[in-house]
A and B are shown apart, each in its own frame.
Chain A
């Protein structure tokens, strides 16, 4: 099967003006050579801690940021270099939902107006047909019709995130980038949004890139999972494999740090030393070696992501 989306050696560096000499200008290497592919109907979970580059990838995919290098091939077209006008016409096919449900809504527009906006920009529907569609979409995401004339401040956090999801699915996109869509929500609301996303995916046949630092949620929603550390993917596998047989020390440490709601849970704790280094001065060789309890001299050598079992890729000298 040809993938719907192929990301090939994606880089995004942010130059820094004040640091570094004129000979070697410094930059933040937020995304540093990331490749993965997504088939239609699949959900790839992208996990990692703050600063690992997962949101930068999201923004490069939907081109709210221009990649420094690399290709983002969506449905046969390289989005990374697509001219603005052509890009605009394709946008109805890929949409994004952000973490903060309040900041991503316009406080001066009603729910009706906000959900109608993508239809106005991307479809030829006449106003009456658009209103009809908005009503259908609101029902789809579980919002009562009576909320259509409310403003964001009159909605709860869960309702606001449903409006964001409604906006994103309004044009029936094939691909949705979800950047921490449930992180700002309370436990019971979060669960309902997760179930809504799963239901919409099944009903509309969408492909998701689901970005989160919450590994339990990622496990619930994803078919495959990629783990990021300091701008690179360190492990990628099917969700079943990754959670049952994590190979990379970083994945193991991350999994063993997640609190589990069972007081009798016995787990092998793999603890990393210290904190994530700055993406300005990236360590040579394996980027984790300064913190990894298993590090060996060989870890100073460059490490590549290689396949250790069908569909299971790991970037570690010791695996």
Chain B
């Protein structure tokens, strides 16, 4: 499989009055062409900042201070703003959590897709209109002509998210970044949106980087998964391996924290909260919450070790138990 997106040691800082917020710390992950990769973690883990960094949308006081982002063989960190504009929206597009606020409230939704197509795909007015209607239909919107003429406030939340997905995939991007695309939607609507993402991804060949806090969503549609805690990627594995043999104490803790519908289950939630990234713990950032913590964990950042093909874990306790 060809690697489409390769993020290595990405580090993002935000300068604030109180000090430097170390939002993302040496995050490494990759997305192959056509696959769905999940990036999972609790709020404040740096998932969304990672996504914005990939699109180079980090604005001051934030700054990418280190690492490399390679997309389709191009080094994005060296790309000019003009080149990035060509990439955003046409080769990498993004779907956000709150579809209604991401759409322009004073322009009919169909016209918003047409504008994008005229800009990025250089289609004629007529061609853009036909393609926009076709995409709305693809996204499962009944009566696309009537819906295209409506404004976001006239559509339900699920319908707005379908419009966002239609728009994101209209230019046939190679990569779609979906940031919590189903959060805030009702369960049955969320299930429809996930089905739509998977089907459209398969049909258009677009790879998807799916950001979520919901391990159930990850299990449902992802091929590979990165688990993030306090700005660090702590575990990285194929989806079956991650759920069958989770290794990092944080991943195991997360799985112990969700009540289960499919079987009887006793919860054992993780202690403490995500540490402040203003002055994060020096070594492993999970150390203050970890039941397996050792002195060495507080001294230095645990290296990511491949414990099985394609399964990488950054944990000294796991490493020690193995050797």
User: What would be 28 A-B contacts, judged by CB atoms less than 8 Å apart?
Assistant: A49-B187, A49-B189, A50-B186, A186-B274, A187-B42, A187-B258, A188-B254, A188-B270, A191-B269, A194-B259, A213-B187, A219-B259, A220-B267, A256-B191, A259-B190, A259-B191, A260-B261, A261-B215, A261-B216, A261-B218, A261-B219, A262-B243, A264-B240, A265-B219, A265-B262, A271-B188, A271-B192, A275-B156
Residues of chain A contacted by B215 (CB below 8 angstroms): 187, 261
For the complex formed, measure the closest distance between the CB of A32 and the CB atoms of chain B, giving whole angstroms: 19
Residues of A within 8 A of B245 (CB): none
Q: Which residues does B use to contact A, with CB under 8 Å?
A: 42-43, 142, 156, 158-159, 186-192, 194, 213-220, 239-240, 243, 253-262, 265, 267, 269-270, 273-274
Task: Collect the chain A residues with CB atoms within 8 Å of residue B189's CB.
Answer: 49, 275
- Contacts A158-B273, A265-B219, A275-B156 hold; do A188 and B187 have CB atoms under 8 A apart? no
For A258, what are the chain B residues with a Cβ–Cβ distance below 8 Å? 187, 216, 261
Our pick among A220, A256, A276 for the contact of B259 (Cβ within 8 Å) is A220
In this assembly, does A133 line the interface, its C-beta being within 8 Å of a C-beta of chain B?
no
Interface centre among B186, B194, B215 (most CB of A within 10 A): B186
A88 to chain B, nearest CB (A): 36
Q: Which of A217, A261, A272 contacts B188 (CB 8 A)?
A: A272
Kindly state whether residue A125 has any CB partner on chain B within 8 Å.
no
**A310 sits at the interface (CB 8 A):** no
Q: B267 contacts A194, CB within 8 Å?
A: yes
A187 and B187 in contact (CB under 8 A), knowing A195-B267, A258-B216, A259-B219? no
Interface contact tally, CB-CB below 8 A:
109
> Whole-angstrom distance between the alpha carbons of A275 and B185 in the complex?
12
Q: Is the CB of A253 within 8 A of B188?
A: yes
Binary flags per residue of A251-281, CB closer than 8 Å to B gives 1, else 0: 0011111111111110000011011100000
Question: Which residue of B187, B239, B257 is within 8 Å of A190 (Cβ)?
Answer: B257
Cβ of A192 within 8 Å of any chain B Cβ, yes or no, is: yes
Cα separation A98 to B187 with both chains bound (whole Å): 20
Complex alpha-carbon distance, A272 and B190, angstroms: 12
CA distance A188 to B255 in the complex (A): 9
Q: A187-B213, A262-B243, A275-B156 are contacts. A49–B259 as well, Cβ < 8 Å?
A: no
What residues of chain B lie closer than 8 Å to A220, measured between beta carbons? 259, 265, 267
Q: Which residues of chain A come closer than 8 Å to B159, judged between CB atoms?
A: 275
Q: Is B261 a contact of A191 with CB atoms below 8 Å?
A: no
Q: Which residues of A contact B (CB under 8 A)?
A: 49-50, 156, 158, 186-192, 194-195, 213, 215-217, 219-220, 243, 253-265, 271-272, 274-276
Known A190-B257, A265-B219; contact A260-B262, beta-carbon cutoff 8 A: yes
Q: In angstroms, how far is the closest chain B Cβ from the Cβ of A292?
A: 12
Once A195-B267, A258-B216 are accepted as A-B contacts, the answer to whether A188 and B186 lie under 8 Å apart by CB is no
Residue of B nearest to A269 (CB): B191
Q: Are B186 and A49 in contact (CB under 8 A)?
A: yes
Task: Contact check, A263 vs B260: say whether CB atoms are below 8 A apart.
Answer: no
Contact among B43, B191, B258 with A257 in the assembled complex (CB-CB below 8 Å): B191
B187 and A257 contact, CB distance less than 8 A: yes
**In the bound complex, CA of A225 to CA of B67 (Å):** 51
Q: Note all chain B residues with C-beta closer than 8 A to A189.
A: 273
- Distance, CA A129 to CA B187, complexed state (A): 47
Which residue of chain B is the closest to A47 with respect to CB atoms? B187
- With A and B bound together, what is the CA distance between A186 and B44 in angstroms? 10
Beta-carbon contact of B186 and A156 below 8 Å? no
Additional A-B contact list (20), CB under 8 Å, known A187-B254, A194-B267: A49-B187, A186-B42, A187-B257, A188-B42, A188-B270, A191-B269, A195-B267, A215-B261, A216-B258, A220-B265, A220-B267, A257-B188, A259-B190, A260-B216, A261-B243, A263-B239, A265-B262, A271-B192, A272-B188, A275-B158
